[in-house]
Amino acid sequence: MNERVYRSLYRIRRVEEEVAKAYPSDKIKSPVHLSIGQEAIAVGVCEGLRPTDIVFASYRGHAAYLAKGGDLRMMIAELYGKVTGCAKGKGGSMHLIDVSHGIMGSSAVVGTTLPNAAGYAYALRRKKSDAIVTVFFGDGATDEGVFYETLNFAALKRLPLLFICENNSYAIHTHQTKRHSQPNIAQRSAAMGVPAEVLPDDIDIVRDKISSAIDRIRSGKSGPLLFECMTYRWKEHVGPGEDYHLGYRTKEDAAKWIANDQVRRVGMRLDDSTRAEIEASVEKEVADAFAFAEKSEFPDPAELWTDMVELDIR
């Protein structure tokens, strides 16, 4: 298990480090919101999911996409705006989708995948499927009214829905305590009828707690559940750099989170040869994905008119 978990954690970290390296060249054609520092949540959650389970993600969705099994080549090609991308180069970093792996898409608009996830979960319940839906979102999404509407509907209908709040404390540059008089998101969820728990930045706790929760939801012993997973993004809100010069957070704030790096922590459990083998395999895969994106073609202009819904407004 440690080998599988380390591969997933290391793979996400290295993909995003290479994205950060390529971004200043302008080869990447969309804004990027990196998950560096937050990988343990996506990996810990997806460890308990089946291939037939469904995931919706936020615009900071690279980690969830990769942890659930999304195609790496298609992801990087999408960032490059190429036709071989997972959204044919039309969505970019914030709109990743891989239906074949149960990834129903991420969205640039804060909170919008919450009701989408509820709708999908409702359809699964009506079909008597044993699949479940997981929706990832940040603490900023809990500022949106749709968060509370979705909690209420999910609780009312006992939907097979797992809410994963990746709480990195900031909505862009504003700390949670400056936005909420009661910053505990789990308490607000419980008040809406969805039992919730706060989890630390610890891959083992995240994996074990959420795997158990998934089993309870799948078996019908529980309705929807929420986990507020405490974490910290190492990079700026959007882009590959650091933003300590803006004054809203400091390097001292980040130090304790970086010292608790879950990628390094899991890697240290492996012997040197095993770790080196995993890392070499990942490096080869990442290099291949970027080479694939570089060589792929941009979409034909006619592609603008495909995958459209035509509305008759007469």
CATH of the domain at 268: 3.40.50.970
Residue that is written with structure tokens 């699964």 in the block:
124
312 occurs within a structural domain: no
Determine contact, residues 232/170, Cβ cutoff 8 Å: no
Q: Rounded to two decimals, what is the model's pTM?
A: 0.95
20 occurs within a structural domain: yes
Tens digit of pLDDT per residue, the chain (314 long)? 799 999 999 999 999 999 999 999 989 988 999 999 999 999 999 999 999 999 999 999 999 999 999 999 999 999 999 999 999 999 999 999 999 999 998 999 999 999 999 999 999 999 999 999 999 999 999 999 999 999 999 999 999 999 999 999 999 999 999 998 888 999 999 999 999 999 999 999 999 999 999 999 999 999 999 999 999 999 999 999 999 999 999 999 999 999 999 999 999 999 999 999 999 999 999 999 999 999 999 998 888 888 776 666 66
What is d(CA 60, CA 64) in angstroms, rounded to the nearest whole number?
A: 9
Question: Mind giving me the DSSP string for 88-102?
Answer: TTSS-TT---BGGGT
261 occurs within a structural domain: yes
Determine contact, residues 166/136, Cβ cutoff 8 Å: yes
303 occurs within a structural domain: no
Beta bridge partners of 227: 164, 197
47 occurs within a structural domain: yes
Determine contact, residues 207/48, Cβ cutoff 8 Å: yes
311 occurs within a structural domain: no
Structural domains in the chain (count): 1
Domain limits for position 249:
2-296
Determine contact, residues 64/104, Cβ cutoff 8 Å: no
314 occurs within a structural domain: no
What is d(CA 286, CA 187) in angstroms, rounded to the nearest whole number?
A: 40
Question: Closest Cα to residue 67, out of 189, 142, 164?
Answer: 164
75 occurs within a structural domain: yes
